[in-house]
Structure 1
Amino acid sequence: MTAKAQASPTFDGWDKDVSPFHQGEVALHERVGRAERQDIVGRRIIRPYMIDQHREFFASLPFLIGGSVDVSGAPWASALFGSPGFLSTPDDVSFVINTPVLDGDPFAENAKPGAPVSFVGIELQSRRRNRLNGIIREGAGIVADVVQSFGNCPQYIHTRDMAFARDPSITVSSDRREFTELGDAERAIIAKADTFFVASHNPVDDPRVNGGVDVNHRGGNAGFVKIDGNTLTVPDFSGNFAFNTLGNFLVNPKAGILFIDFASGDILQLTGTVELLWDITPEIAAFEGAQRAWRFHLTKGHRLVGASPLGFTDGEASPRSLKTGQWH
Structure 2
Amino acid sequence: MTYHAGSRAVQDRVGVRGIADHQGQAVGQGIRPVAAAFLERQPMLVLGAADPASGAVWASLLTGEPGFVRATGPHRISVVGGVGAGDPLATALRAPDTPVGTIALDPRTRRRMRLNGRARPTVRGFAVEADQVFSNCPKYLQRRESYETVDRASTTARRGHELTPEQREFIESSDTFFLATVHEHGADASHRGGNPGFVRAASPHELSWRDYPGNSMFLTLGNLSVDPRAGLLFLDWVSGSVLQLTGTAHTEFDQDGERTVRFIVAEVVETPAASPLTWTAPEYSAANPEPAR
TM-score by length of 2: 0.93
- Partner residue of 1:113? 96
Q: What is the SS of the residue equivalent to 2:141?
A: coil
Give SS of 1:293's match: strand
Partner residue in 1 for 2:212: 237
Task: Report the CA distance between 1:37 and its aligned residue.
Answer: 3.4
Q: 2:147 aligned with 1:165, yes or no?
A: no
- For residues 123-167 of structure 1, what are the alpha-carbon distances to aligned partners after superposition, in whole Å with 9 as ceiling and x for unaligned? 101101111001013654311101000010000001112111028
CA distance 1:40–1:98, change in 2 (3 Å): same
Superposition pairs of residues 44-193 of structure 1, within 5 angstroms: 44-71=25-52, 72-111=54-93, 112-137=95-120, 139-140=122-123, 141-160=125-144, 161-166=146-151, 173-193=154-174
CA contact (8 A) 2:238 2:277 kept: no
Match of 1:259 in 2: 234
Cα deviation digits, residues 29-74 of structure 1 (max 9, x gap)? 11122223322331x2010111111111011100011111112221
- Give the partner amino acid of 1:23: A
User: Structure 1 residue 276 and structure 2 residue 258: aligned?
Assistant: no
CA displacement at 1:100 relative to structure 2: 3.9
2:292 pairs with 1:327: yes
How big is the shift at 1:104? 2.4
**Runs of 4+ with deviation above 6 angstroms:** none
SS across alignment from 2:34:
helix
CA contact (8 A) 2:20 2:215 kept: no
1:28 pairs, out of 10, 27, 36, with 10
Residue 3 (structure 1) aligns with: none
CA drift of 1:120 comes to 0.6
Q: Secondary structure at the match of 2:83?
A: coil
CA distance in structure 2 between the partners assigned to 1:188 and 1:104 by the alignment:
25
The amino acid that maps onto 1:157 is L
Give % identity: 36
CA distance 1:102–1:74, change in 2 (3 Å):
same
CA-to-aligned-CA distance 1:273-315 (integer Å, 9 cap, x gap)? 11211124xxxx6xxxx82111000001110012111111113
In the alignment, residue 149 of structure 2 is paired with which amino acid?
F
Aligned residues: 288
| Higher-strand-fraction structure | 2
Amino acid across the alignment from 1:156: Y
Compute the displacement of 1:217 (Å): 0.5
Question: Residue by residue, what CA displacement relative to the aligned partner does 1:2-28 show, whole Å, maximum 9, x if unpaired?
Answer: xxxxxxxxxxxxxxxxx4221111111
Q: Match of 1:197, SS? A: strand
Q: Residues 103 and 189 of structure 1: is their aligned pair in 2 closer, same or farther, counting only changes over 3 Å?
A: farther
Deviations 1:53-106 (A, max 9, x none): 111101110001111111222111111000000011121111100024234222
Given the superposition, is the C-alpha separation of residues 103 and 309 from structure 1 closer, same or farther in structure 2, using an over 3 Å criterion?
A: farther
* Distance across 2 between alignment mates of 1:258 and 1:138: 23
What's the RMSD between the two structures over aligned residues? 1.6
Q: Secondary structure at the match of 2:283?
A: coil
Unaligned runs of 5+ in 1: 1-18
Shift of 1:184: 2.0
User: Do the aligned partners of residues 138 and 65 (structure 1) sit closer, same or farther apart at CA in structure 2, a change above 3 Å counting?
Assistant: closer
Hey, what's the Cα distance between the residues in 2 that align with 1:265 and 1:136? 26
Larger Rg: 1
What SS does structure 2 have at the residue aligned with 1:110? helix
Kindly indicate whether the alpha-carbon contact (under 8 Å) linking 1:88 and 1:97 is maintained by their aligned counterparts in 2.
Answer: yes
Q: Mean Cα displacement is larger for which, 95-104 or 52-61? A: 95-104
